[in-house]
Amino acid sequence: MAGEHALPNALRRRGLMFVLSSPSGAGKTTISRMLLAADPEIKLSVSVTTRPMRPGERHGVDYHFVDDAEFDRMVEDDDFYEWAHVFGHRYGTPKGHIRAALKEGQDFLFDIDWQGTQQLIQKDKQDVVPVFILPPSIDELRRRLEARAQDSEAVIQARMDRARAEISHWDAYDYVVINDSVDLCFARVREILHAERIKRRRQTGIIDFVRELMGQSAVTTVA
Ligand code: 5GP
């Protein structure tokens, strides 16, 4: 049957760069972990950072932890897709094999700030899906930050200031989701991902499928 070979080809698609940004404490890390656990087609882009490792974090899993000299070397060697100063430390997305993997249909999740998101959009607008997560209120954000025992009061205050600054960039994102309930927020984030995957321009294999459906060669483009 003709459809038997058409289907796998029709499912061929270009990968996407799924960006989740939010002020720290809005629940982005929880949502990221849920997404990575639930969806085998998306992989975390592990960032490089000069900030010290926190308890429970693992090198190469949460971040690649490097010293200033190593970060300098990577900047000089043009090893970063984007990088930025955040909370007095530097963070960057290593280029690695991302471009080639996108072509093969691999999706990547980026947990990066607004500065990094801007750089990705400038370089690769077609592939980037920018999503911003908002806390339900500023009081709730403070409560969540205070619940993190590992940070001092001074750090919490600095993060509240940064949170307001980060939130001010919300309108540079295509999608905005309020995290009033983790389950609802997660469901919305998944809906965004699912819908973006089936955008016509990402479905590079669909043209052959449509041609076959129509039984003629008049369909020449999916753009
Ligand atoms: P944390 O130190 O709490 O893990 O992250 C602090 C902030 O840095 C978060 O807003 C996070 O999204 C951002 N961040 C993490 N990795 C990167 C990166 O590679 N590039 C940029 N621009 N921001 C990052």
Where does ligand 1 bind, in terms of residues with CB under 6 Å? 24, 47, 51, 82, 84, 86-87, 91-93, 111-113, 115-116
Contact 132, 177 (CB under 8 A): yes
Return the amino acid letter for 131. V
User: Rounded to whole angstroms, how far apart are CA atoms 27 and 144?
Assistant: 9
Q: Is the pLDDT of residue 6 over 80?
A: no
* Location of structure tokens 């639930």: 38
Q: How far is the CA of 49 from the centre of ligand 1 (A)?
A: 8
pLDDT at res. 216: 66
Q: What is the ipTM of this complex?
A: 0.98
CA-nearest residue, atom 11 of ligand 1? 112
pLDDT at res. 1: 41
> What is the tens place of the pLDDT at every residue in 29-71?
999 999 999 999 999 999 999 999 999 999 999 999 999 999 9
pLDDT at res. 116: 97
Contact 49, 90 (CB under 8 A): yes
Q: Is the pLDDT of residue 219 over 60?
A: no
User: Rounded to whole angstroms, how far apart are CA atoms 101 and 78?
Assistant: 19
**Which of 48, 59, 65, 86 to mutate to test ligand 1, by most ligand atoms within 8 A of the CB atom?**
86
Contact 155, 162 (CB under 8 A): no
The more confidently predicted of residues 91 and 147 is: 91
Q: Is the pLDDT of residue 171 over 70?
A: yes
Q: How far is the CA of 48 from the centre of ligand 1 (A)?
A: 9
Distances 42 to 13, 113, 150 between C-alpha atoms, Å:
13, 19, 30
User: For the whole model, what pTM was predicted?
Assistant: 0.89
Task: Give the pLDDT band of residue 123 (cuts 50, 70, 90).
Answer: very high
Q: Is the pLDDT of residue 76 over 70?
A: yes
Q: Is the pLDDT of residue 126 over 60?
A: yes
CA-nearest residue, atom 14 of ligand 1? 112
- Overall average pLDDT of the 147-166 stretch: 82
Average pLDDT of the residues of the chain: 90
Q: How far is the CA of 112 from the centre of ligand 1 (A)?
A: 5
Q: Is the pLDDT of residue 208 over 50?
A: yes
Q: How far is the CA of 148 from the centre of ligand 1 (A)?
A: 17
* Location of structure tokens 């760069």: 17
Q: Which atom of ligand 1 is nearest to the CA of 86?
A: 8
User: Rounded to whole angstroms, how far apart are CA atoms 193 and 112?
Assistant: 17
Q: Is the pLDDT of residue 17 over 90?
A: yes
Q: How far is the CA of 194 from the centre of ligand 1 (A)?
A: 25
Q: Is the pLDDT of residue 181 over 80?
A: yes
Per DSSP, 171 falls in state G
Q: Name the strands in the sheet holding 47-49, side by side, starting at the edge strand that comes first in the sequence.
A: 63-65, 47-49, 89-94, 80-86
pLDDT at res. 101: 93
Q: What angle do CA 190, 130, 188 make, to 5 degrees?
A: 25
* C-alpha 139 chain-centroid distance: 26
> What is the tens place of the pLDDT at every residue in 80-101?
999 999 888 999 999 988 988 9
Phi, psi of 57 (to 5 degrees): -85, 155
